[in-house]
């Protein structure tokens, strides 16, 4: 079984509730430092604050772009990514444009992702861009197409879910994505991962990162 420290380093400790307060972000950052999580994922308005709170630690700050619907205009998504990186975000998790994908406008989907990738990496070449494809809304063929578009657009990760849709990550979806990316991209499983058993199942299926708001609970399961 994976060691406790290894598990901590694949967890994005996440707080994206619309009612999250500064006190909540303080708590999130303190937990991330205590348990050694890889990253905290916060809403864009808290990136600068979280960056200050985590100064001097090795915990990174991540945020979202076009969250949770993915329906912002490409220009707005690119600008949001740029501002987030300038504020201190090391990673951005953007939501794919599901409407474009289901309309069959694959060029528009790819261009949307590319805009975020380019804007984020122009602000900081080391920025990691993850693309949330929201698997619960997609057919098998659409999942395959979405992953290929993420690869073509030079994103760094494919992520299963926002956690706000009708369903989150499944072992089957993680396995499919991992098979498609062939180790050329990271795979982030998120949505509904609330215990150690589920987290381990996702890693076994090929996830390289776990997004969860239950990071503390998962870590406390280690004996």
DSSP string, 116-171: HHHHHHHH-TT-EEEEE--GGG--HHHHHHHHHHHHHTT-SEEE---S-SS----H
| Contact indicator for 113, 132 with CB cutoff of 8 Å | no
E strand residue ranges, the chain = 11-15, 39-42, 60-65, 91-95, 128-132, 157-159, 186-190, 209-212
Contact by Cβ (8 Å): 174, 144: no
For the chain, helix, strand, coil in percent to 5 are 50, 15, 35
The angle at the Cα of 108, spanning 102 to 114, to the nearest 5 degrees, equals: 120
114-136 residues labelled b (16+ CB within 10 A) or e (exposed): bbbbbbbbebeeebbbbbbbbbb
Catalogue the active-site residues: 93, 159, 188
CA-CA distance, 170 to 119, in Å (whole number)?
Answer: 31
């Amino acid at each position: 079984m994976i060691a406790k420290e290894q598990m901590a380093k694949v967890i994005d400790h996440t707080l994206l509730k619309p009612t999250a307060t500064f006190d909540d972000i303080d708590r999130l950052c303190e937990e991330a430092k205590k348990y050694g999580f890889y990253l905290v994922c916060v809403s864009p308005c808290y990136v600068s604050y979280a960056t200050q709170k985590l100064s001097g630690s090795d915990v990174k700050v991540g945020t979202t772009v076009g969250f949770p619907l993915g329906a912002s205009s490409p220009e707005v998504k690119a600008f949001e990514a740029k501002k987030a990186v300038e504020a201190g975000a090391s990673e951005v998790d953007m939501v794919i444009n599901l409407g474009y994908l289901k309309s069959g406008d694959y060029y528009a989907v790819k261009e949307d992702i590319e805009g975020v990738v380019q804007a984020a990496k122009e602000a900081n070449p080391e920025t990691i861009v993850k693309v949330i494809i929201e698997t619960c809304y997609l057919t098998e063929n659409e999942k395959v197409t979405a992953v290929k578009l993420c690869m073509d657009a030079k994103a760094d990760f494919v992520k299963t879910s926002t956690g706000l849709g009708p369903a989150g990550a499944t072992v089957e979806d993680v396995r499919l994505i991992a098979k498609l990316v062939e180790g050329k991209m990271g795979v982030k499983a998120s949505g509904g991962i609330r215990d150690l058993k589920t987290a381990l199942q996702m890693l076994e299926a090929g996830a390289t990162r776990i997004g969860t708001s239950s990071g503390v609970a998962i870590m406390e399961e280690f004996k």
